Amino acid sequence: MDVMIFVKALIYIVLAPFIGGLLAGVDRIFSARMQGRQGPPLFQPFYDVFKLLNKQTTVVNSIQVLFVTGYLIMTIFTGALFFGGGDMLLVFFALSMSEVMMVMAAFSTNGPYSIMGAQRELLQMMCYEPMTLLVAIGFYYANGSFMVNDLIQAEVPAIVQIPGFFIGFVFILIIKLRKSPFDLSTSHHMHQEMVKGLTTDLSGGNLALTEIAEWYDLVLMMGIVGMFFITSNPISRVWAIIAISVVFFLETLIDNLFPRVKYITMLKVTWSVILIFAGTNLLILNVLK
Amino acid sequence: MKISKSPWVLHYDGSSCNGCDIEVLATMTPLYDVERFGIINTGNPKHADVLLLTGGVNAQTAPVIRQLYNMMPDPKVVVACGICACDGGIFKECYNILGGADKVVPVDVYVPGCAVRPEALIEGVVKAVGILEEKRKKLKESMKAGYCTVDYSKIAIHTTADDYDPSNQYDAVLTEEALRQQAEEKIKASAKPAPKPAAAVAPKAPAANAAAPAQAPTAAPAADNTKKGENA
């Protein structure tokens, strides 16, 4: 049984960058098509990372490299924990740790754009952290366990009991995947008011590591979306993949539909959505049980 | 896989009439869509591979162009867009115009036109990307010869406050040649044996008629720097 955990984690560590990179490429093509353009090749994210790895790396200070590497390692650890079948609570705590690493990397550079990006990233974390914790709690209410290994053996899919949590989670995914209405900390498309936010002062290999970490993160997030649909029945995995595709397409659509908002709007909107959907759902679950 | 598949572009307007700038932006519209080639318009010199310059250079924009060039990580190429950036154009005789972009940074590709056509611009960038590939090979060679790129960044880290002189900080253009000279001096200054001069295949610096490229403030030996730092 222990061996299976390591095998699953290893499969994630090996395959996630490829799947994440492909998803990022699909995202860019979808975006381009929505804007009436042809768009880049499917493998463009891989070309980008390859180029970045082959460029000179200028570092502002050496601690920055440590934090960026820490961000990558923590993200991989988080994903491996989730796909290995670990504790949902621990997954989300490790996830915020990886975000903190990225924020520290940006703060350490002392550049104005990086610091502005880091501060906005902290605000974003304030917006989505309650929801990530609520998701773990929701799964516990639905299936009586925090362990992913137990959750995937459920009789009925979690979405039946906690649809409100699903809506809330898809909503905060906009923030987590750095999509347009809420991409305050790093402009999803370059050349905007804060240059590139968090990653402004990263170059070459460091930027490549950040990109790879974001691919890992993307796969992890899509995995959590799939968790809402997976049961002990193998056919449920097909439903999970369909749900992931729909959610991913929806995120791209939202990215292209809405302009960026101010942080205060983001805070109000996200917390309202969380309170209305997840809060009500939690209340109903409490009354019924 | 080729490095030339994702050239990220940094666009800077040194006193242009904005005709060329509008054409640069036009290349990103659905009609021309340069993202087909993986080209992204970044606003960040630290992410950029290609520096697009429009308009003639004047005394105020020259230090900015030098700074942008120096901030871009190697390998990098410069494309002069429009006749003004190539040699000054109709503004050449103006009292405040220094001339084309090649007065301050080494230019790799000249794209003439007034204003430059988007098609010509795209072709210019694609040509520049070919040069980028060559430069990467040269960079690898120079890394093999011992002038590792990491050395450059270490120079930047160990710069003391005394090395920073606001009056001349952007006078030097850190071409590959200049950086190699700095690295060589550094290696000579330290007690370690100098690397084997595989310099028979020493890559030529791209047509640098820049002003005094080698005289960077960091050229002083490391020992001197620390002494100065203590005095201050």
Residue A212 in this model has a pLDDT that exceeds 60: yes
Quick check: A196 and B44 CB within 8 A?
A: yes
- Report the gap between the CA of B148 and the closest CA in chain A (Å): 10
A108 contacts in chain B (CB < 8 Å): none
Q: What is the ipTM of this complex?
A: 0.83
B154 contacts in chain A (CB < 8 Å): none
Q: What is the mean pLDDT of residues A179-185?
A: 83
- Report the gap between the CA of B48 and the closest CA in chain A (Å): 9
Write the pLDDT tens digit of every residue in A235-281. 889 999 999 999 999 999 998 898 888 889 999 999 999 999 999 99
Cα angle: B58, vertex B61, B62; to 5 degrees: 80
- Please tell me which residue of chain B has the smallest CA distance to A193: B43
- Report the gap between the CA of B92 and the closest CA in chain A (Å): 30
Interface of A with B (CB under 8 A): 28, 32, 35-41, 44, 46-48, 50-51, 54-59, 61-62, 190-192, 195-196, 199-204, 207
Write the pLDDT tens digit of every residue in A25-82. 999 999 999 988 888 999 999 999 998 888 888 887 878 889 999 999 999 999 999 9
Write the pLDDT tens digit of every residue in A84-126. 888 899 999 999 999 999 999 999 888 888 888 899 999 999 9
Q: What percent of chain B has pLDDT over 90?
A: 9
Q: What does DSSP say about strands B57-58 and B40-42: parallel, antiparallel, or unpaired?
A: unpaired
**What tokens were used for B80?**
């002069």
Cα angle: A87, vertex A90, A92; to 5 degrees: 110
- Please tell me which residue of chain A has the smallest CA distance to B10: A191
Residue B212 in this model has a pLDDT that exceeds 70: no
Given this model, what pLDDT does residue A17 score? Answer: 93
Tell me if residue B45 falls in helix, strand or coil.
coil
Closest CB to A56 among B6, B35, B149 = B149
Residue B29 in this model has a pLDDT that exceeds 60: yes
B35 contacts in chain A (CB < 8 Å): 28, 32, 37-40
Given this model, what pLDDT does residue A1 score? Answer: 61
Measured distance CA(B102)–CA(B87) in Å, rounded: 8
Given this model, what pLDDT does residue B136 score? Answer: 81
Most confident range (mean pLDDT) of A218-222, B145-149, B178-182, B219-223 is A218-222
pTM for this predicted structure: 0.82
B10 contacts in chain A (CB < 8 Å): none
Measured distance CA(B35)–CA(A203) in Å, rounded: 21
Measured distance CA(A117)–CA(B59) in Å, rounded: 33
User: How many CB atoms lie under 10 A from the CB of residue A84?
Assistant: 21
Quick check: A200 and B150 CB within 8 A?
A: no
Q: Calculate the average pLDDT of chain A.
A: 89
Quick check: B157 and A61 CB within 8 A?
A: yes
